[in-house]
Amino acid sequence: MRRRLLAFLLIPMLVLLLLDALLTYTVALSYSNHVHDRDLAGDAQSLAALLQHDAVPGEISSQARFLLDYDPDGRSYYSIRSRLHGPVSGNAALEMHGVQAHVDQAPTLFDSRLGHTPLRAATVAITDPRNPQDVLEITVAETLHDRHMVAREILLLSVPLQLLLIVLLLGLAWLGVNVGLRGLEPLTDRLARREHTLAPIDDSDVPKELLPLTRTIDNLFTRLRELMALQDRFIADAAHQLRTPLTGLALHVERAQAHANNPVLRDALHHIGRLNGRAARTARQLLALTRAQTPHPEDERMTTLDLATLLPDAVGDRVHEAIAAGVDLGYEGTTAPLQVRGNAGALRELLDNLLDNALRYTPREGSVTVRLHPADHEHGAGFSVEDDGPGVPDEWLPRLGERFFRVPSSHEDGTGLGLAIVQRIAERHAATVVYARSPSGGLLVNVHFPAAGIDA
């Protein structure tokens, strides 16, 4: 937009500069012609006055000859002609083109030529003081060089000033465009700070020229909200509807296993139960993901939470699972309060998904460690979950957190939704999630809260 505005201003200004230069030269040449015509007519009248006092007929005085011959560039010509006797004196045969002056009248100005050189001439007629019956025609001419030279000098004096004026105007235009475009900065900043909200744009500080754009964006946001709400309702309804038959199927599988004597049947029922549990877990995680990415009134009510209390409680609740899986589950941190603004239920679900992911992929006799990082009022604080499982190849780390994404080399059962839920809950709390390799080769997940949300 800035380039287009400046180009729209610059190109017409350059065209105007060329037109103005042409107009200036034309006016300057007209003014120079006027001045030189006046001087030329004055020279003709002066010569006529000198001739009227000459003592010898047909000759001009030394003063008159000096007036006519003095020209440092040699561009002045004169001719004295008697109507009865023809040429009397002169330094050039000037073409009159039928021009005839009248006695005792103002000089007549006309264009003439000397060979191929164009001239400007002035002629005046006087009565011959030695012969009253005769008339002398005095013609003075000059080349057009001085006229054009004066016009060029005027042009060269005016063009730099006009160019300076245009440069100043362009500077003012550049400043005006930049200042005018700064009106977009509040809107740009507000849109940049948005993460997952599709609320209408506040028009209070939007220039009225941009209102059609913001209203079009609001209409797009409305359609997106409707589509996302429809998608979320579908996922929630489908997951909810699946929970009941899956629960019933699990009960019937348990009953059948209790009364199954056939080893083949018992093995088949075991696989059915495992697959049923996986489907039930997928339904639960779909519900959790829907809650994590759909704004709810209770999620907006953030409270002050103590990570130094929340983390040990979450780890303690999973100790029995860790013991059953043969995994050493540990916690490292201080007892000093480390408070953040957040939703207790959402953060607890974030921790549960990280622990579930770590316990699932950590082999027997492995370890999972939850660490609380101390507060830093400049860089914030947070916690990490580290395991010594198989880890994730570096090329797949950036994709962790995508819905339904699972590392291709993974052989464990999973839905690819656990880390997606973690990512959405972290975004709700303005926190960042960073995935990396742990020193032991497993997965290290860092959850970092910004300094603005920390109260240590």
- Let me know if residue 194 belongs to a domain: no
Q: How far apart are CA 144 and CA 141, in angstroms?
A: 10
Residues 213 and 257 in one domain: yes
pLDDT for residue 445: 92
57 within 8 A of 128, measured Cβ to Cβ = yes
SS3 per residue for 243-306: HHHHHHHHHHHHHHHHCCCCHHHHHHHHHHHHHHHHHHHHHHHHHHHHHHHCCCHHHHCCEEEE
- Which CATH number fits the domain that encloses residue 431? 3.30.565.10
Model confidence at 297, in pLDDT bands (50, 70, 90)?
very low
pLDDT for residue 74: 47
How many domains does the chain contain in total? Answer: 3
- Which CATH number fits the domain that encloses residue 250? 1.10.287.130
Residue 370 has pLDDT above 50, yes or no: yes
One-letter amino acid at 212 equals P
Of the ranges 62-66, 267-271, 310-314, 364-368, which one carries the lowest mean pLDDT score? 62-66
Mean of the per-residue pLDDT values of the chain: 78
Q: pLDDT tens-digit profile of 152-177?
A: 888 888 878 878 887 887 788 778 77
Residues 253 and 313 in one domain: no
pLDDT for residue 298: 47
Q: pLDDT tens-digit profile of 374-399?
A: 766 555 678 999 998 888 888 888 88
Residues 365 and 444 in one domain: yes
- Let me know if residue 165 belongs to a domain: no
- Strand arrangement, sheet containing 303-306: 303-306, 339-342, 454-455
Q: pLDDT tens-digit profile of 17-72?
A: 788 888 888 888 898 889 888 988 888 888 888 777 654 444 556 666 665 555 54
- Which CATH number fits the domain that encloses residue 30? 3.30.450
Residues 122 and 233 in one domain: no
Residue 313 sits in which domain range? Answer: 299-455
- Let me know if residue 195 belongs to a domain: no
- Let me know if residue 199 belongs to a domain: no
- Let me know if residue 184 belongs to a domain: no
Nearest to 445 by CA among 414, 422, 412, 421: 422
> What are the C-alpha distances in Å from 425 to residues 51, 179, 342, 343, 354?
111, 39, 10, 9, 12
Q: What are phi and psi of 61, to 5 degrees?
A: -70, 165
Residues 269 and 304 in one domain: no
Q: pLDDT tens-digit profile of 102-157?
A: 887 888 888 888 888 888 888 888 887 778 888 888 888 888 888 888 888 888 88
> What are the C-alpha distances in Å from 317 to residues 39, 223, 310?
112, 42, 11
